[in-house]
Structure 1
Amino acid sequence: MDKKIIFILLIMSIISTDASAFRDKTHVELNNESQKKIGTTPFDLNEFLAGSLGFDRGIKEPLNYSFNFQFWSFQPISAGQILSNGGTQEDETPRYFSHFHDGLENFGLWNRYDSALLWAQAPFGGQGYSWNDARHYYYIALTSPTTDRRNENFARTLRSVGQVMHLVEDMAVPEHTRNDAHPFSPGIEIYIENKLRKDTNAFSGSLAAPFFFDF
């Protein structure tokens, strides 16, 4: 077989496995917006972190550090940034294959990968950043005797919550609710990304107030 044809088939096979949904910037902005107090809802993440967990700077409290080669120094990563970054980290390969849920058949992509519903609720240690992982890290953070250990697990908690939020956000993309792997981004993803490119505050005030249930 001609080498050019083999090369084209190889590229197409790689492209056909693309299963990501919203672009990274969209997920980050959605997670950013969720940190703000919405309307008259009683919950405010910033106030909760400051008032209940002792984060003096609320969502701006530094919990982790990353090395910045531009400034050749370690730069702080805030609680809010960690939550937002979870929106992109959930799309790391091969995690995005488990971002689908067929509500009619009740299974994941190609009936081969975990449904997003099960992936989000995987047992602690199963996939690393599920809702149950978040609960475990949160418990460890609350009961750890040292500041470093607490901050490490608070960071893991927020990252896990950010990644679970990503899964919820993906359910707004039709392809992800009908097991339709899309090698080329569907229109809704391009539309949202273009909207953000033109207006970085496009999501401001656009998220509906969540419901709270009294158990």
Structure 2
Amino acid sequence: MGGGRLRARARVEAPGRDRAGGEPWRSRRHPRRPRLSRVLLVPGRLVVSVVVSVVGPRYGDVRVRGGVAPARVVDLAGVAVARVGAWRATAGEVRLRLDAPVPVNARVGSDRAVQVIDNLVSNGLRHAPEGPVVTVSVLRAAGGIVELHVAGEGPGMTAEQKERAFDRFWRSESGAGGSGLGLSIARRLVEVDGGTIELLDAQGGGREVVVCVPAG
């Protein structure tokens, strides 16, 4: 892996609900599936309405049906700094540490990047023990790739759980709550930009989500 790197540490109470964004979902496995067509991104809250679009306050619209916002060169490290700042304002103490110069440019949808980071931070906080630390890292990797890492404390996961964690409406038996949609939505948004996402064991315990997207 290469040079530019950003780390953000968040010490907050886990929000009671997940934030999300994506397309209307249909799942044969879930007989009482919600028909979600628009999601407002508010740290700590999930607000659903019936207009077919995904909206993040102050970040514009991402149309999932009838056209997807195109990818462009975005400073992913700058987006991460802004989103951790939003968490600090709404959820408690957040500490940032820049390990190398920015920007770290990626070719992604700016609104999608916001939603992915929010979903992953929310997921990390929800599954962490009391007084959690979530570490967000953005770095340049080999082969024209930019990596986003979101690592949280808490229990590890089996190989089967890691695979199923990206299924719609799947929730672990830890009782952490949530909609069961956060990681599924994140994967959908990452794939729109030609990226990949995987769930790994974090060094020292816990879990780490790694997103790989094209460099800008």
Q: Which has the higher helix share?
A: 1
Structure with higher Rg: it is 1
